[in-house]
């Protein structure tokens, strides 16, 4: 058996977002334009458009900001461009050492240029293997060592002491250190103070994250003038636009810098809030000093959470390809309330609505037998199981006697529906002369698992609700078989004005229990449609994978027992 969620490997599940705070898959600023930027955009001078650009003014401003000498800043069209210049400048066969997991662009560049990639597997907890780093530096001298601090995609912050140790070791082995500090504004410290004393150190910074200028593509290197002068020979003429340079200068003005600091402080505060919240929920997240958090959920749950969040309009990043799998990463949102609610729905349901037939109870030998025998009674023909399943898959049959009636009708036999219902119920319930088909029913859910779910309901951790197309009489045997708690709601076809796909039963359960984070599990199209109409997470089970996935279930399970992997 397998659990399947259709998602592309290591990709965002939600591509576009127009409202602030919902696109949280690429570590961008998670709200609207900064106030300073709105003003700066309106003050873009005409010459920024019609004159060829000159990077030097922005490079000088950055040098002044960091207290560096002239020539120690190289601005590029995004950090990616200056990274590419550095790697392209390396002699063939130069060792390029990087602990995993790492920013994907480094691996891409290592595959393009004739360097010697030395990628070091992470430890089981996805942290850098620093001992492996030390060994690789010693064994591969005259190379480049890439250290991302804080790391992307995990948020790991190698301690200052460890980073300085690696920096010194690289100097001993004539190895350049590329220190990626794209997320430094969100961290406890940086290594800018090491730049002047370490000519083998190159620091990467960007305007994409804290400054909220990802769309401008503006990044830069801080390094010795000697190294950067060599790289300048590779730089394309006018590689950064005049508009970008103008806005980069505006970002360094005191009012903008103050707003950036305030924004970063809020992100850090919200990051701590979500780290604490996830810990309270029992969700493991990787320690982060970046503007994002990475949750470790397992492959199935990660894909499921990504899809549920997307359905609520929040883009998050799922990882299901080595070296990082079973993880979901989200940028820290400015609006914690809306995102928290969406995350709770994906991770912490408080109302589990369950279809009965084909979900909790195996009805192959009961209702299927009643359907088959009823059709035989009226037509003398035996429908095969595939025909029965196909009709169920199409939806619209809240009770199986209606399905039997449709099969009879399709065989050209007119029949009184109430009379057919009596025949059907006689077969299902039996009489003094024969046992009812319902006596063959058995549970599809594991006894121990079902006991745990019921105990959670009794403890008040969540509520259960049965939402079924059975009538009350048919459900009586099912309740006995399930040993269903009397205080948990049950909605049969007799308890609602309209059956599924109408969401009345689900909504009534939510109203009665006072719960709002609802998952609905069923094996029928009507279950999925009812879930969507009620604003619940739709989960498909059983044999009808293709139809239920096409209808938009968040995940398809081979059987109900797999639901535990999502909880």
Q: What is the mean pLDDT of residues 427-454?
A: 92
Does one domain contain both 101 and 220?
yes
In angstroms, the CA 551 to CA 528 distance is 7
Nearest Cα to Cα of residue 342 among 373, 314, 307, 380: 314
Q: Is 201 helix (H, G, I), strand (E, B) or coil?
A: strand
pLDDT of 18 above 50: no
Rounded percentage of the chain residues whose pLDDT exceeds 70: 96
307-333 per-position pLDDT tens digit:
999 999 999 999 988 889 999 999 998
Does one domain contain both 404 and 516?
no
Arithmetic mean of pLDDT over the chain = 92
> Can you read off the two tokens belonging to residue 321?
């390809």
Does one domain contain both 151 and 171?
yes
Does one domain contain both 428 and 455?
no
Sheet holding 518-522, edge to edge: 490-491, 463-467, 351-354, 518-522, 537-541, 555-557
| Nearest 10 degrees: Cα torsion 542, 543, 548, 554 | 40
Residue pair 141/175 in contact by the 8 Å Cβ criterion: yes
For residue 52, the domain's CATH number is 3.40.640.10
Does one domain contain both 425 and 330?
no
Q: What pLDDT does 391 receive? A: 85
Does residue 78 sit within a domain?
yes
Q: At 200, is the pLDDT very low, low, confident or very high (cuts 50, 70, 90)?
A: very high
Per the structure, the complete domain to which residue 306 belongs is given by 271-345
pLDDT of 13 above 50: no
> Can you read off the two tokens belonging to residue 182?
């794209």
Does one domain contain both 287 and 200?
no
Does residue 390 sit within a domain?
yes
Q: What is the mean pLDDT of residues 356-385?
A: 92
Q: What pLDDT does 398 receive? A: 62
Q: What is the mean pLDDT of residues 524-544?
A: 94
Does residue 396 sit within a domain?
yes
319 phi, psi to nearest 5 deg: -120, 120
Does one domain contain both 338 and 370?
no
Instruction: Classify residue 485 as exposed, middle or buried by CB count within 10 Å of its CB (0-12, 13-18, 19+).
Output: middle
Task: Compute CA distances 202 → 222, 248, 322, whole Å.
Answer: 6, 21, 28
In the listed set 392, 411, 440, which residue is the last one of a domain according to the structure?
A: 440
177 phi, psi to nearest 5 deg: -110, 120
Q: At 395, is the pLDDT very low, low, confident or very high (cuts 50, 70, 90)?
A: confident
Nearest Cα to Cα of residue 5 among 310, 353, 329, 296: 310
What number of other Cβ atoms are within 10 A of residue 102's Cβ? 24
pLDDT of 1 above 60: no
Q: At 394, is the pLDDT very low, low, confident or very high (cuts 50, 70, 90)?
A: confident
Peptide bond into 323 cis (omega under 30): yes
Does one domain contain both 84 and 207?
yes
DSSP secondary structure code for residue 41 in this structure: H
Does one domain contain both 96 and 142?
yes
Does one domain contain both 56 and 202?
yes
In angstroms, the CA 397 to CA 493 distance is 11
Q: What pLDDT does 249 receive? A: 98
Q: Which of the residue ranges 179-188, 223-232, 333-342 would you say has the lowest mean pLDDT?
A: 333-342
In angstroms, the CA 43 to CA 289 distance is 34
In the listed set 252, 284, 302, which residue is the last one of a domain according to the structure?
A: 252
pLDDT of 135 above 70: yes
> 351-354 and 463-467 as β-strands: parallel, antiparallel, unpaired?
parallel
Q: At 267, is the pLDDT very low, low, confident or very high (cuts 50, 70, 90)?
A: very high
Q: At 431, is the pLDDT very low, low, confident or very high (cuts 50, 70, 90)?
A: confident
Residue pair 98/118 in contact by the 8 Å Cβ criterion: yes
Does residue 15 sit within a domain?
no
> Can you read off the two tokens belonging to residue 327?
């993880």
pLDDT of 17 above 60: no
Does residue 4 sit within a domain?
no
Q: What is the mean pLDDT of residues 352-361?
A: 96
Based on the structure, what is the number of domains in the chain?
4
Q: What pLDDT does 3 receive? A: 41
445-486 per-position pLDDT tens digit:
999 999 999 999 999 999 999 999 999 998 999 999 999 999
Does one domain contain both 139 and 247?
yes
Q: Which of the residue ranges 7-16, 68-77, 219-228, 372-381 would you say has the lowest mean pLDDT?
A: 7-16
This prediction has a pTM of 0.86
In angstroms, the CA 198 to CA 178 distance is 12
> Can you read off the two tokens belonging to residue 416?
């009184």
Across 19-87, the runs of DSSP E, i.e. the strands, are 73-76
Q: Which of the residue ranges 55-59, 76-80, 220-224, 540-544 would you say has the lowest mean pLDDT?
A: 540-544
Sign of CA dihedral 40, 45, 46, 49: negative
Does one domain contain both 230 and 190?
yes
């Amino acid at each position: 058996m397998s659990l399947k969620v259709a998602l592309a490997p290591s990709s965002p599940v939600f591509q576009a977002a127009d409202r602030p705070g919902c696109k949280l898959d690429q570590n961008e600023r998670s709200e609207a334009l900064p106030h300073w930027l709105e003003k700066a955009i309106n003050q873009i001078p005409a010459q920024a458009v019609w004159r060829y650009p000159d990077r030097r003014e922005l490079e000088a401003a950055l040098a002044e900001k960091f207290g560096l000498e002239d020539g120690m800043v190289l601005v590029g069209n995004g950090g990616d461009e200056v990274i590419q210049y550095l790697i392209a400048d390396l002699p063939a066969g130069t060792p390029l050492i990087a602990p995993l997991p790492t920013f994907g662009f480094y691996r891409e560049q290592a595959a393009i240029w004739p360097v010697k990639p030395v990628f070091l597997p992470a430890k089981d907890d996805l942290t850098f293997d620093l001992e492996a780093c030390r060994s690789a530096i010693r064994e591969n001298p005259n190379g480049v060592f890439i250290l991302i601090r804080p790391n992307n995609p995990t948020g790991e912050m190698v301690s200052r002491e460890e980073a300085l140790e690696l920096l010194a070791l690289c100097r001993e082995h004539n190895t350049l250190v590329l220190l990626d500090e794209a997320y430094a504004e969100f961290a406890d410290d940086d290594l800018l103070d090491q730049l002047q004393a370490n000519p083998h150190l190159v620091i990467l910074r960007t305007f994409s994250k804290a400054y909220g200028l990802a769309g401008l593509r503006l990044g830069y290197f801080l390094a010795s003038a000697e190294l950067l002068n060599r790289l300048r020979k590779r730089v394309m003429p006018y590689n950064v636009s005049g508009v970008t340079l103008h806005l980069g200068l505006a970002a360094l003005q005191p009012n903008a810098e103050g707003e950036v600091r305030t924004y970063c402080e809020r992100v850090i505060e919200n990051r701590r809030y979500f780290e604490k919240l996830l810990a309270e929920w029992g969700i493991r997240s990787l320690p982060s000093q970046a503007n994002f958090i990475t949750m470790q959920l397992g492959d199935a749950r990660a894909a499921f959470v990504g899809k549920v969040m997307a359905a609520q309009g929040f883009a998050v990043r799922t990882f299901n390809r080595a070296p990082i799998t079973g993880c979901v990463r989200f940028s820290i949102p400015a609006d914690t309330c809306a995102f928290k609610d969406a995350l709770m729905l994906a991770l912490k349901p408080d109302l589990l609505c369950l279809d009965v037939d084909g979900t909790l109870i195996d009805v192959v030998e009961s209702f299927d037998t009643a359907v088959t025998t009823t059709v035989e009674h009226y037509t003398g023909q035996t429908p095969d199981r595939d025909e029965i399943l196909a009709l169920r898959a199409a939806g619209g049959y809240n009770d199986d006697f209606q399905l039997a009636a449709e099969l009879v009708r399709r065989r050209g036999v007119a029949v009184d529906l109430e009379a057919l219902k009596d025949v059907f119920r006689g077969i299902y319930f039996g009489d003094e002369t024969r046992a009812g088909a319902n006596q063959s029913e058995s549970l599809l859910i594991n006894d121990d698992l079902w006991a745990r779910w019921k105990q959670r309901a009794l403890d008040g951790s969540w509520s259960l609700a049965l939402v079924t197309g059975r009538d009350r009489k048919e459900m009586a045997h099912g309740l006995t078989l399930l040993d269903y708690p009397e205080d948990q709601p049950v909605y049969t076809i007799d308890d609602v004005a309209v059956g599924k796909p109408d969401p009345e039963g689900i909504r009534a359960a939510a109203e009665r229990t006072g719960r709002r984070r609802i998952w609905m599990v069923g094996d029928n199209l009507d279950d999925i449609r009812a879930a969507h109409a009620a604003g619940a997470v739709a989960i498909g089970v059983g044999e009808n994978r293709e139809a239920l996935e096409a209808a938009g279930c968040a995940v398809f399970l081979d059987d109900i027992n797999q639901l535990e992997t999502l909880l």
